[in-house]
Amino acid sequence: MTYENCESTGRFGHWGRFYAIAGPLFGAAWLWTPVADWAASDTEEWQIPLVAAGIAVFAAMFLYTVMSRRPVLPPVLTMLAIAVGLTLGVYDSFAWLFVWAGSAASVRLSGLTSVKAVAAITALAAATLALTDPEAAVFWGITATVFATSALWLLIGGLMRANEELREARAELAEMAVAEERLRFSRDLHDLLGHDLSLIALKAELARKLLPDRVDAAAGEVEEIRELTRSALSQVREAVDGYRRPSLGSELAGAKVALEAAGIELRVEGPDGPLDPEVESVLAWAVREGATNAIRHSGASHAAITVRDGTLEIADDGRGAPPVRPGGNGLTGLRERVQSVGGTVEAGASPGGGFRLTVRVPAA
């Protein structure tokens, strides 16, 4: 689990990539603190290129460790070698570099390995400091900071990995649901068409045998074939229509998952009772469109969906009406669907701020 695993999913939504890059860069930028401490001391000219090269390589290894999925050991060992070398050979404040090395190792490693790494890096920092004979406050301050910071990032890394595993589990469940639905649909089609198609084949064979001697009987069989074909076609259309038609319950559940993944807390109320299938389909499309707009444009932190007495309302506390996009037809298509069942659509800024989408349809 690395920073790049958190790029575009999870609670930060489309800001994930920014945090995945800015976080490590911000951490690396703080490497100036031991450098500034050293620069304020009695420096020697030969130390300048050594420190410049060492810090540059250290920063590169730090970023490489936390922003990639490649093996952790080589870059972490390189960071530790630089930290030991600069601490013993240049200035004892470079022992602060062990904080970055420990943090990088902790966020990448897991389980018992990460615990051992934290203990080993803390021990190495303490041993290196002991050789420089610093003041007790400096020794214990740096050693404690290395341990505490590494342990903190060990916990954060565990949470990041757990979050990633949760997203992967959700994706697997979604794939399983799709596969199950495809299996259900193919099973339904087989049940619907198997009998009729077998009967059509038998009657076609019978009609062929009746021709040309018994034309009237053959014509009767052909007429039955025509009726069976029409019936089968009608059943297929009904099955496909039911397959394509979204349900309100599934759309509400999907909207809750999608909005909360985007960092928007959702509250759902209703519906009061069963709805007409056509009305339910229209309201389901409304939920899908409203949730999509909230995720893409609202910047909200809270949203609510209420279904009551033939009225569906989706409201959020975001920035207001979504921008008009050239070629965008989400609300236009929704209005057409709602008007097809005699309903109306209202969309715009809420009096108290945010955006509100209201769909009213005739009660069943």
More confident residue, 7 or 184: 184
Residue in the structure block whose two tokens are 């406050």: 137
Residue 100 has pLDDT above 50, yes or no: yes
Q: How many CB atoms lie within 10 A of CB 246?
A: 16
- 85 to 54, 127, 128, 198: CA distances (angstroms): 9, 13, 9, 83
- The helix (run of H) or strand (run of E) holding residue 105 is helix 97-108
- 24 to 31, 80, 165, 260: CA distances (angstroms): 12, 18, 22, 26
Residue pair 252/305 in contact (Cβ under 8 Å)? The answer is yes
- Domain residue limits, the chain: 3-170, 175-244, 248-360
Helix (H, G, I), strand (E, B) or coil at 31: coil
Q: Label residue 6 by pLDDT band (50, 70, 90).
A: very low
- 345 to 188, 292, 313, 330: CA distances (angstroms): 35, 16, 10, 12
Mean pLDDT score of the chain: 78
Tokens describing residue 184:
């259900």
Residue pair 6/164 in contact (Cβ under 8 Å)? The answer is yes
Taking the C-alpha atoms of residue 250 and residue 254, their distance in angstroms, rounded to an integer, is 6
Residue 242 has pLDDT above 70, yes or no: no
As a whole number, mean pLDDT of residues 246-268 equals: 81
Please report the pLDDT score of residue 305 as a whole number: 92
Residue 43 has pLDDT above 60, yes or no: yes
Please report the pLDDT score of residue 313 as a whole number: 92
pLDDT tens per residue, range 132-148: 877 888 888 888 988 88
Tokens describing residue 246:
């979204």
Taking the C-alpha atoms of residue 350 and residue 357, their distance in angstroms, rounded to an integer, is 9
Give, to the nearest 10 degrees, the angle between helix 73-89 and helix 97-108.
170
Residue 303 has pLDDT above 80, yes or no: yes
- The helix (run of H) or strand (run of E) holding residue 360 is strand 355-360
As a whole number, mean pLDDT of residues 28-43 equals: 78
Return the CATH class of domain 248-360.
alpha beta
Please report the pLDDT score of residue 123 as a whole number: 92
Please report the pLDDT score of residue 245 as a whole number: 64
Please report the pLDDT score of residue 230 as a whole number: 81
- Most distant pair of Cα atoms in the chain: their distance: 117
Please report the pLDDT score of residue 4 as a whole number: 41
Domain 175-244, CATH: 1.20.5.1930
Please report the pLDDT score of residue 9 as a whole number: 39
More confident residue, 341 or 9: 341
First to last CA, the chain: 51
Residue pair 313/305 in contact (Cβ under 8 Å)? The answer is yes
Taking the C-alpha atoms of residue 200 and residue 217, their distance in angstroms, rounded to an integer, is 15
Number of Cα atoms under 13 Å in the Cβ half of residue 76 = 23
Taking the C-alpha atoms of residue 324 and residue 276, their distance in angstroms, rounded to an integer, is 32
What percent of the chain has a predicted confidence (pLDDT) above 90?
A: 6
Q: How many CB atoms lie within 10 A of CB 236?
A: 15
Q: Label residue 321 by pLDDT band (50, 70, 90).
A: low
The domains spanning 175-244 and 248-360 adopt the same CATH topology: no
